[in-house]
Amino acid sequence: MTTFGPVDAQPYTWPYDAAVDPARTALINIDWQTDFCGPGGYVDAMGYDLNLTRAGLAPTKVVPDACRDAGMLIIHTREGHLPDLSDCPPNKLWRSQQIGAGIGDSGPCGRILIKGEPGWDIVEEVYPIPGEVIIDKPGKGAFYATELDLALRTKGITDIILTGITTDVCVHTTMREANDRGYECLLLEDCTGATDVGNYQAALKMVTMQGGVFGAVAHSSALLSALDARQTVDV
């Protein structure tokens, strides 16, 4: 059996119990969609600085290939709603309209956060390769109303590495959901971003509190270094 690592992380070396076993580890890239980090998308329509949500995109580009080479499961998520908005809660729709970027409204990238529209899809830099799992979700967390937990458990996954946007909303919600389900989580701090720097920093700090209440945080370079430390164990 080939293992890697472990990863130099905070507040503990990750994973807590051993080296990184690619057969039990998945990389989840959360919501790298045009609507969240591209010109003319949802975040852009709200008036936020795209440089903040795009900050983690360049570091993230190299991570999937390293994880693929190691033999890990790669999963991508997209947040979006049906064209008739039947799966969009009224309060979510109302809130989006109050800030001038109503879900389902027409924009430069098609209807905002609607499945099948250009803005809803994943950006080219980290687009899935054929055969990789894509989880389409109606909410912030990737476990809610999706097949993610089943997909992970079917593959025997116990450990999860997270990238994506935004740190304080969809990434954090997914990490909390995963932690409650017993998954051992690692958030790559330079492979994520938020619409507000303070929220980004606070989200990272929350993970490391209480000895790692939701898991651990590491720089992507620490993960890549760990994946270079290949170990072969006879079992």
Closest by alpha carbon to 144, among 173, 116, 168? 173
Is 109 catalytic? The answer is no
Active-site position among 31, 44, 121, 168: 31
Q: Report DSSP state, residue 4.
A: B
Whole-angstrom distance, CA of residue 5 vs CA of residue 176: 24
Whole-angstrom distance, CA of residue 211 vs CA of residue 177: 18
CA distance readout (Å), 28 to 10, 51, 72, 98, 196: 19, 22, 10, 31, 22
Phi then psi dihedrals of residue 11, to 5 deg = -95, 10
Closest by alpha carbon to 195, among 229, 234, 230, 168? 168
Q: Are 160 and 24 in contact (CB under 8 A)?
A: no
Single-letter code of the amino acid located at 227? L
Pairing of strands 133-137, 2-3: unpaired
> Quick one: tokens of 190?
């330079």
Active-site position among 121, 137, 140, 168: 137
Active-site position among 37, 67, 170, 185: 170
DSSP per-residue string spanning 46-104 = HT--HHHHSTTHHHHHHHHHHHHHHT-EEEEEEE-B-TT-TTS-HHHHHHHHHTT--TT
Catalytic residues: 31, 137, 170
